[in-house]
Amino acid sequence: MLSKTLEKALNDQVNKEYYSAFLYLSMSSYFESVNLLGMAAWMRTQYEEEVMHAIKIFDMIADMEGKVELKSVEAPPVKFESPLDVFTKTLEHERKVTGMINDIYSLAREENNYAVQSALQWFIDEQVEEEKSALEVVQQLKMIGDETTPLLMLDNKLGSRELEPGA
């Protein structure tokens, strides 16, 4: 069972996960436009992961007898300055998402809803990974600065990322 408050919070989160998906797809398109195809592929994988997150919460609502209410998704930005700009925004965005997940978890705790707390545990762990991987790229891009060769090496490395099952 879900209270109306938790049902709304989870529905909002479904929408935010789809926004995340759109954001990363937009970033993927930016990387395609500047021919950093490894980073474009990385962002495409990120997009697919976010769609899975949305569906995971969608299922959570339905499994707990809640009502899913899909809303229109906000348009993501389309202009980006540089790879560093993109990954800095990725990190900022993921930190924001972590805050949202934490807020829903706090709500579930106040309401003594153990099922939601348990289901959200996966997302809490996932956010640690999301922040870690974005921060790693931000720091490496800062080290690289304006040099082309290491940028292309990093692009190559990021292009080999595979979609993690269940992520």
- Which residues bind to Mg ion, rule: CB under 5 A? 17, 50, 53
Q: Which are the contacts of 129, defined by CB distance < 8 A and separation ≥ 6?
A: 167
Residue nearer to Mg ion on the CB measure, 7 or 50: 50
Q: CA 87, 91, 96, 100 torsion: positive or negative?
A: positive
CB 137 within 8 A of CB 20: no
Residue nearer to Mg ion on the CB measure, 7 or 126: 126
CB 97 within 8 A of CB 131: no
Shortest distance (Å) from residue 153 CB to Mg ion: 28
Residue nearer to Mg ion on the CB measure, 49 or 155: 49
Q: Which residue reads 């709500």 in tokens? A: 107
**11: alpha, beta or left, given left = phi > 0 and alpha = psi -120 to 50?**
alpha
Shortest distance (Å) from residue 17 CB to Mg ion: 5
Q: Is 142 exposed, middle or buried (0-12, 13-18, 19+ CB in 10 A)?
A: exposed
Shortest distance (Å) from residue 167 CB to Mg ion: 9
Helix (H, G, I), strand (E, B) or coil at 166: coil
Shortest distance (Å) from residue 97 CB to Mg ion: 6
Q: Which residue is nearest to Mg ion (CB)?
A: 53
Shortest distance (Å) from residue 127 CB to Mg ion: 8
What tokens does 1 get?
A: 């069972």
Residue nearer to Mg ion on the CB measure, 47 or 80: 47
CA 42 to chain centre: 12
Residue nearer to Mg ion on the CB measure, 17 or 155: 17
